[in-house]
Amino acid sequence: MKNNVQLITYADRLSGSDLKGLNSLLTNQFESLFAGVHLLPFYYPIDGSDAGFDPIDHTQVDSRLGNWSDIANIGDSFDTMADLIVNHMSAQSEAFQDVLKNGRNSKYWDLFLTKDKVFPNGLSDEDRAKIYRPRPGSCFTEYTLADGTTCEFWTTFTSNQIDIDVHSAAGKQYLTDILTKFAENNVNIIRLDAAGYAIKKAGSSCFMLEETFEFINQLAKQASELGIQTLVEIHSYYKTQIEIAEKVDRVYDFALPPLVLHSIFSKDFSALVKWLKVSPRNCITVLDTHDGIGIIDVGPMAGKAGLLNENEIDQLVEKIHNNSQGQSRLATGAAASNVDLYQVNCTYYDALAQNNFDYLLARAIQFFAPGTPQVYYTGLLCHENDMALLEKSKVGRDINRPYLNTAKVDSLVNKNITQALFKLIKIRNNSEAFNGEFVMQADKSKLQMCWTKEHAKAELTVDLTDNSAAIFLSDIGKEEVFDLQQILNQ
Q: Is 193 labeled as catalytic in the residue annotation?
A: yes
Marked catalytic residue, from 193, 288, 312, 398: 193
Among residues 12, 18, 79, 233, the one annotated as catalytic is 233
184 annotated active-site? no
Q: What is the 3-state secondary structure (H, E, C) of the chain?
A: CCCCCEEEECHHHHHCCCHHHHHHHHHCCCCCCCCEEEECCCEECCCCCCCCCCCCEEEEECCCCCCHHHHHHHHHHCEEEEEEECCEEECCCHHHHHHHHHHHHCCCHHHECEHHHHCCCCCCHHHHHHCCCCCCCCCEEEEECCCCCEEEEECCCCCCEEEECCCCHHHHHHHHHHHHHHHHCCCCEEEEECHHHCCCCCCCCCCCCHHHHHHHHHHHHHHHHCCCEEEECCCCCHHHHHHHHCCCCEEEECCHHHHHHHHHHHCCCHHHHHHHHHCCCCEEECCCCCCCEECCCCCCECCECCCCCHHHHHHHHHHHHHHCCCHHHHCCHHHCECCCCCEECCCHHHHCCCCHHHHHHHHHHHHHCCCEEEEEHHHHCCCCCCHHHHHHHCEHHHHHCCCCCHHHHHHHHCCHHHHHHHHHHHHHHHCHHHHCEEEEEEECCEEEEEEEECCEEEEEEEECCCCEEEEEEEECCEEEEEEHHHHHHC
Distances, alpha carbon 291 to alpha carbons 51, 112, 352, 465, in Å: 11, 26, 17, 32
Query: Coil, strand, or helix at residue 243?
Result: helix
Closest CA to 246 of 282, 206, 221: 282
Active site residues: 193, 233
